[in-house]
Structure 1
Amino acid sequence: MNDRDDPTTPHDPPGRPPDPSGELDAATAAIPIDAPGEPAVRSPSTIRMWAVVLSGPTVWIVHFIVVYLAAEASCESARSTQMSFVGETGLRVGIVAATVVAVVGLVGVGGMAWRRSLATDATPMYRVALLLTSLFVLATLVVGLSPLVLDPC
Structure 2
Amino acid sequence: MYKSKYLERILENGMYYNSILSQYLIYDYENLKISNLLKERIKTNVDSNQNFEIPLSEFSTIQIALDLRIEELLKHPDFDPFKEEKRKRFPEQYGNQPFEFHGKIYYLHTKTFPVDSLIDRIIDFKELLEEHFKANKPLKYLYKE
TM-score scaled by structure 2? Answer: 0.31
Taking CA–CA contacts closer than 8 Å with sequence separation of 6 or more, which of the two structures ends up with the larger relative contact order? 2
TM-score scaled by structure 1? Answer: 0.30
Greater fraction helix: 1
Greater fraction strand: 2
